[in-house]
Protein backbone atom coordinates (compact mmCIF):
# COMPACT_ATOMS: atom_id res chain seq x y z
CA UNK A 1 0.00 0.00 0.00
CA UNK A 2 1.44 3.41 -0.92
CA UNK A 3 1.13 6.53 1.23
CA UNK A 4 -1.81 8.67 0.15
CA UNK A 5 -1.33 11.86 -1.80
CA UNK A 6 -0.86 14.87 0.51
CA UNK A 7 -3.31 17.77 0.41
CA UNK A 8 -2.22 20.71 -1.71
CA UNK A 9 -0.28 18.60 -4.23
CA UNK A 10 -0.41 17.43 -7.83
CA UNK A 11 -0.11 13.86 -9.03
CA UNK A 12 0.49 13.23 -12.73
CA UNK A 13 -1.20 9.93 -13.45
CA UNK A 14 -0.57 7.91 -16.59
CA UNK A 15 -3.96 6.53 -17.54
CA UNK A 16 -2.78 4.09 -20.20
CA UNK A 17 -4.04 3.83 -23.78
CA UNK A 18 -7.74 4.26 -23.07
CA UNK A 19 -9.06 1.01 -21.59
CA UNK A 20 -9.63 1.63 -17.83
CA UNK A 21 -8.48 -1.97 -17.17
CA UNK A 22 -4.97 -0.85 -18.15
CA UNK A 23 -4.70 1.71 -15.35
CA UNK A 24 -2.35 0.79 -12.53
CA UNK A 25 -3.45 0.13 -8.95
CA UNK A 26 -1.70 3.30 -7.82
CA UNK A 27 -3.46 5.33 -10.51
CA UNK A 28 -6.79 4.11 -9.17
CA UNK A 29 -5.78 4.95 -5.58
CA UNK A 30 -4.87 8.50 -6.56
CA UNK A 31 -8.15 8.95 -8.43
CA UNK A 32 -10.15 7.61 -5.48
CA UNK A 33 -8.60 10.25 -3.21
CA UNK A 34 -8.69 13.16 -5.66
CA UNK A 35 -10.48 16.46 -5.07
CA UNK A 36 -9.89 17.61 -8.66
CA UNK A 37 -9.10 15.60 -11.80
CA UNK A 38 -7.72 17.53 -14.78
CA UNK A 39 -8.29 15.32 -17.82
CA UNK A 40 -6.74 15.01 -21.29
CA UNK A 41 -8.51 14.01 -24.51
CA UNK A 42 -6.88 10.57 -24.69
CA UNK A 43 -7.05 9.80 -20.98
CA UNK A 44 -9.43 6.97 -20.04
CA UNK A 45 -12.68 8.68 -19.11
CA UNK A 46 -15.02 5.66 -19.14
CA UNK A 47 -16.22 5.22 -15.58
CA UNK A 48 -14.13 8.14 -14.34
CA UNK A 49 -16.95 9.49 -12.18
CA UNK A 50 -16.96 6.16 -10.32
CA UNK A 51 -13.17 6.00 -10.01
CA UNK A 52 -12.94 9.56 -8.67
CA UNK A 53 -16.27 9.90 -6.85
CA UNK A 54 -15.45 13.04 -4.85
CA UNK A 55 -13.60 14.93 -7.56
CA UNK A 56 -14.45 17.94 -9.66
CA UNK A 57 -13.60 17.01 -13.28
CA UNK A 58 -11.83 19.64 -15.39
CA UNK A 59 -11.58 18.79 -19.11
CA UNK A 60 -8.58 20.36 -20.82
CA UNK A 61 -8.66 17.93 -23.77
CA UNK A 62 -6.82 18.82 -26.92
CA UNK A 63 -7.76 17.67 -30.40
CA UNK A 64 -5.11 17.48 -33.15
CA UNK A 65 -4.46 20.97 -34.54
CA UNK A 66 -6.65 22.50 -31.85
CA UNK A 67 -5.28 22.96 -28.36
CA UNK A 68 -8.44 23.44 -26.31
CA UNK A 69 -6.55 24.79 -23.30
CA UNK A 70 -3.00 26.06 -23.85
CA UNK A 71 -0.29 24.21 -21.92
CA UNK A 72 0.60 27.32 -19.91
CA UNK A 73 -3.00 27.58 -18.73
CA UNK A 74 -3.11 23.87 -17.83
CA UNK A 75 -0.02 24.42 -15.67
CA UNK A 76 -1.75 27.36 -13.96
CA UNK A 77 -4.91 25.31 -13.31
CA UNK A 78 -2.86 22.55 -11.64
CA UNK A 79 -0.90 24.97 -9.49
CA UNK A 80 -3.95 27.06 -8.49
CA UNK A 81 -5.95 24.05 -7.29
CA UNK A 82 -2.97 22.66 -5.37
CA UNK A 83 -2.23 26.00 -3.71
CA UNK A 84 -5.89 26.06 -2.63
CA UNK A 85 -5.15 22.88 -0.66
CA UNK A 86 -6.66 20.29 -3.01
CA UNK A 87 -5.40 16.88 -4.05
CA UNK A 88 -5.08 17.32 -7.78
CA UNK A 89 -4.79 14.43 -10.20
CA UNK A 90 -3.61 15.29 -13.68
CA UNK A 91 -4.93 12.31 -15.66
CA UNK A 92 -3.05 11.87 -18.91
CA UNK A 93 -3.22 9.31 -21.70
CA UNK A 94 -0.50 6.67 -21.80
CA UNK A 95 2.57 7.58 -19.75
CA UNK A 96 3.00 11.21 -18.63
CA UNK A 97 6.67 11.28 -19.66
CA UNK A 98 6.30 9.79 -23.18
CA UNK A 99 5.52 12.67 -25.55
CA UNK A 100 2.99 13.85 -23.00
CA UNK A 101 4.46 17.15 -21.75
CA UNK A 102 4.52 15.70 -18.24
CA UNK A 103 7.99 17.12 -17.63
CA UNK A 104 6.75 20.65 -18.24
CA UNK A 105 3.90 20.20 -15.80
CA UNK A 106 6.25 18.86 -13.13
CA UNK A 107 8.56 21.85 -13.66
CA UNK A 108 5.64 24.29 -13.36
CA UNK A 109 4.54 22.69 -10.08
CA UNK A 110 8.06 22.72 -8.64
CA UNK A 111 8.57 26.35 -9.69
CA UNK A 112 5.42 27.25 -7.74
CA UNK A 113 6.56 25.26 -4.70
CA UNK A 114 3.86 22.61 -5.19
CA UNK A 115 4.62 19.00 -4.24
CA UNK A 116 4.33 16.82 -7.31
CA UNK A 117 4.37 13.07 -7.89
CA UNK A 118 4.32 11.01 -11.09
CA UNK A 119 2.52 7.69 -11.48
CA UNK A 120 3.76 6.04 -14.68
CA UNK A 121 1.26 4.63 -17.14
CA UNK A 122 1.10 2.07 -19.94
CA UNK A 123 2.30 3.99 -22.97
CA UNK A 124 0.44 3.77 -26.27
CA UNK A 125 3.82 3.57 -27.98
CA UNK A 126 4.17 -0.08 -26.94
CA UNK A 127 0.68 -1.11 -25.87
CA UNK A 128 -1.18 -0.07 -29.02
CA UNK A 129 1.10 -2.12 -31.31
CA UNK A 130 0.65 -4.97 -28.81
CA UNK A 131 -3.12 -4.68 -29.10
CA UNK A 132 -2.70 -5.24 -32.85
CA UNK A 133 -0.44 -8.26 -32.34
CA UNK A 134 2.83 -6.39 -32.95
CA UNK A 135 5.74 -6.87 -30.53
CA UNK A 136 7.91 -3.76 -30.92
CA UNK A 137 11.04 -5.90 -30.57
CA UNK A 138 11.26 -9.50 -31.67
CA UNK A 139 14.20 -11.91 -31.84
CA UNK A 140 15.54 -12.02 -35.36
CA UNK A 141 13.52 -9.00 -36.52
CA UNK A 142 14.22 -5.98 -34.30
CA UNK A 143 16.61 -5.52 -31.38
CA UNK A 144 15.73 -1.89 -30.64
CA UNK A 145 12.80 0.49 -30.80
CA UNK A 146 12.78 4.24 -31.25
CA UNK A 147 9.75 6.30 -30.28
CA UNK A 148 9.28 9.63 -31.99
CA UNK A 149 6.68 12.27 -32.66
CA UNK A 150 5.41 12.73 -36.18
CA UNK A 151 4.10 16.15 -35.28
CA UNK A 152 7.16 18.04 -36.50
CA UNK A 153 8.97 17.33 -39.78
CA UNK A 154 12.39 15.67 -39.38
CA UNK A 155 15.39 17.01 -41.27
CA UNK A 156 17.27 14.69 -43.68
CA UNK A 157 20.17 14.15 -41.23
CA UNK A 158 17.85 12.86 -38.51
CA UNK A 159 15.96 10.68 -40.99
CA UNK A 160 19.24 9.16 -42.20
CA UNK A 161 20.31 8.54 -38.61
CA UNK A 162 17.02 6.75 -37.92
CA UNK A 163 17.41 4.58 -41.02
CA UNK A 164 21.02 3.71 -40.07
CA UNK A 165 19.96 2.81 -36.54
CA UNK A 166 17.58 0.12 -37.81
CA UNK A 167 15.16 -1.56 -35.42
CA UNK A 168 11.55 -0.52 -35.07
CA UNK A 169 10.26 3.05 -35.35
CA UNK A 170 7.11 3.88 -33.42
CA UNK A 171 5.57 7.19 -34.40
CA UNK A 172 2.98 8.96 -32.29
CA UNK A 173 0.95 11.90 -33.64
CA UNK A 174 2.03 10.85 -37.13
CA UNK A 175 -1.18 10.60 -39.16
CA UNK A 176 -1.34 14.14 -40.51
CA UNK A 177 2.25 14.16 -41.75
CA UNK A 178 2.44 10.48 -42.72
CA UNK A 179 3.06 11.11 -46.42
CA UNK A 180 5.94 13.48 -45.66
CA UNK A 181 7.45 11.08 -43.14
CA UNK A 182 7.27 8.12 -45.54
CA UNK A 183 8.80 10.18 -48.36
CA UNK A 184 11.54 11.36 -46.01
CA UNK A 185 12.39 7.81 -44.88
CA UNK A 186 12.48 6.63 -48.50
CA UNK A 187 14.75 9.54 -49.48
CA UNK A 188 16.99 8.65 -46.51
CA UNK A 189 17.45 5.15 -47.90
CA UNK A 190 14.86 3.02 -46.13
CA UNK A 191 13.72 -0.01 -48.16
CA UNK A 192 10.40 0.78 -49.91
CA UNK A 193 9.24 -2.75 -49.00
CA UNK A 194 9.60 -2.07 -45.25
CA UNK A 195 6.34 -3.14 -43.54
CA UNK A 196 4.33 -0.37 -41.87
CA UNK A 197 1.20 -0.65 -39.73
CA UNK A 198 -1.09 2.16 -38.60
CA UNK A 199 -3.12 1.15 -35.54
CA UNK A 200 -6.07 3.46 -34.86
CA UNK A 201 -7.92 3.76 -31.53
CA UNK A 202 -5.96 1.00 -29.84
CA UNK A 203 -7.75 -0.98 -27.09
CA UNK A 204 -11.14 0.39 -28.11
CA UNK A 205 -13.98 -1.56 -29.76
CA UNK A 206 -13.26 0.35 -32.99
CA UNK A 207 -9.54 -0.46 -33.13
CA UNK A 208 -8.39 -0.92 -36.73
CA UNK A 209 -5.05 -1.74 -38.32
CA UNK A 210 -3.96 -0.67 -41.78
CA UNK A 211 -0.87 -2.43 -43.14
CA UNK A 212 1.20 -1.71 -46.23
CA UNK A 213 4.76 -1.25 -47.38
CA UNK A 214 6.53 2.04 -46.71
CA UNK A 215 6.13 3.00 -50.37
CA UNK A 216 2.34 2.68 -50.25
CA UNK A 217 1.33 3.28 -46.60
CA UNK A 218 0.37 6.93 -47.12
CA UNK A 219 -1.95 6.02 -49.98
CA UNK A 220 -3.40 3.05 -48.07
CA UNK A 221 -4.12 5.22 -45.02
CA UNK A 222 -5.65 7.98 -47.14
CA UNK A 223 -7.84 5.46 -48.98
CA UNK A 224 -9.11 3.99 -45.71
CA UNK A 225 -9.57 7.34 -43.99
CA UNK A 226 -7.11 6.64 -41.17
CA UNK A 227 -7.42 9.30 -38.48
CA UNK A 228 -5.84 10.24 -35.16
CA UNK A 229 -5.31 8.77 -32.63
CA UNK A 230 -3.12 6.19 -34.29
CA UNK A 231 0.27 4.65 -33.67
CA UNK A 232 2.49 3.99 -36.67
CA UNK A 233 4.90 1.07 -36.56
CA UNK A 234 7.68 1.06 -39.16
CA UNK A 235 9.90 -2.01 -39.49
CA UNK A 236 9.89 -5.77 -39.93
CA UNK A 237 7.75 -6.37 -36.83
CA UNK A 238 4.85 -4.48 -38.43
CA UNK A 239 4.31 -7.51 -40.67
CA UNK A 240 3.27 -9.46 -37.56
CA UNK A 241 0.05 -7.46 -37.12
CA UNK A 242 -3.16 -9.41 -36.68
CA UNK A 243 -5.32 -7.62 -39.17
CA UNK A 244 -8.86 -8.85 -39.48
CA UNK A 245 -9.63 -6.11 -42.01
CA UNK A 246 -6.76 -7.13 -44.29
CA UNK A 247 -8.97 -9.39 -46.40
CA UNK A 248 -11.01 -6.36 -47.51
CA UNK A 249 -7.92 -4.42 -48.42
CA UNK A 250 -6.24 -3.84 -51.81
CA UNK A 251 -3.74 -6.36 -53.14
CA UNK A 252 -0.73 -4.43 -51.88
CA UNK A 253 -1.89 -5.02 -48.31
CA UNK A 254 -2.40 -8.72 -48.85
CA UNK A 255 1.24 -8.96 -49.90
CA UNK A 256 2.28 -7.81 -46.44
CA UNK A 257 0.32 -10.60 -44.81
CA UNK A 258 2.45 -13.11 -46.68
CA UNK A 259 5.76 -11.79 -45.28
CA UNK A 260 7.49 -14.60 -43.43
CA UNK A 261 6.64 -14.85 -39.74
CA UNK A 262 9.72 -15.74 -37.71
CA UNK A 263 9.70 -19.07 -35.94
CA UNK A 264 11.52 -18.05 -32.72
Ligand X SMILES: C[S@@+](CC[C@H](N)C(=O)[O-])C[C@H]1O[C@@H](n2cnc3c(N)ncnc32)[C@H](O)[C@@H]1O
- Annotated catalytic residues are 40, 62, 173
- Based on CB atoms, which residue is closest to ligand X, 132 or 239? 132
Instruction: By CB under 6 A, name the one of 37, 43, 173, 239 that touches ligand X.
Output: 173
CA 87 to CA 158: how far, in whole Å?
A: 42
Q: Which is nearer to ligand X, 93 or 167 (CB)?
A: 93
- Kindly indicate which of the ranges 22-30, 153-161, 223-231, 234-242 contains the residues binding ligand X, using the contact rule CB under 6 A: 223-231
CA dist., res. 202 & res. 127, Å (int): 8
If one asks whether residue 117 binds ligand X (CB under 6 A), the answer comes out as: no
C-alpha separations of 220 from 25, 112, 232, 245, 254 in Å: 39, 48, 13, 13, 12
**Structural Rg of the chain based on CA atoms:** 20
User: By CB under 6 A, is residue 17 in contact with ligand X?
Assistant: yes
220 or 231: CB nearest ligand X: 231
CB of 95 to ligand X, least distance (A): 4
Determine, following the binding rule CB under 6 A, whether residue 44 of this chain makes contact with ligand X.
no
Query: If binding is defined by CB under 6 A, does position 98 make contact with ligand X?
Result: yes
Measured from the CB atom, is 93 or 235 closer to ligand X? Answer: 93
Quick one: 80 exposed, middle or buried, by C-beta within 10 A (0-12, 13-18, 19+)? middle
Question: Can you tell me which of 9, 29, 123, 209 binds ligand X, judged by CB under 6 A?
Answer: 123
Among residues 100, 120, 167, 195, the one that binds ligand X under rule CB under 6 A: 100
Helix (H, G, I), strand (E, B) or coil at 199: strand
CA distances from 219 to 12, 59, 138, 153, 208 (A): 38, 35, 27, 19, 16
> C-alpha angle 94/228/202, rounded to 5°?
50
How far CA 55 is from CA of 18, 37, 63, in Å, comes to 20, 6, 24
CA separation for the pair 41, 56 (Å, rounded): 16
Q: How many Cβ atoms are within 10 Å of 117's Cβ, its own excluded?
A: 18
Beta strand extents in 139-189 (DSSP E only): 145-149, 168-172
Q: From the CB of 176, what's the least distance to ligand X, in Å?
A: 9
Q: Quick one: 35 or 243, whose CB is closer to ligand X?
A: 243
Residue 208 engages ligand X in binding (rule: CB under 6 A): no
Run of H or E residues at 120: none
201 vs 213 by CB, closer to ligand X: 201
Nearest approach, Cβ of residue 7 and ligand X (Å) = 27
**Does 201 contact ligand X by CB under 6 A?**
yes
Q: How far is the CB of 162 from ligand X (least distance, A)?
A: 17
State the residues that interact with ligand X by CB under 6 A.
Answer: 17-18, 42, 93-95, 98-100, 123-125, 128, 172-173, 199, 201-203, 228-231
Amino acid sequence: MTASQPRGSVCLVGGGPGDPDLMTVRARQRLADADVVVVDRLAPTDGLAGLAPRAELVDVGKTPGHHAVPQEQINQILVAHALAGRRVVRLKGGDPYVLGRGGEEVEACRAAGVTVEVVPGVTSAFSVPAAAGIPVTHRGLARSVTVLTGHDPLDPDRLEALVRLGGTLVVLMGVTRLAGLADGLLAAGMDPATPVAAVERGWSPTQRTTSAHLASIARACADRGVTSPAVLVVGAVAALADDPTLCDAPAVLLEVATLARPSG
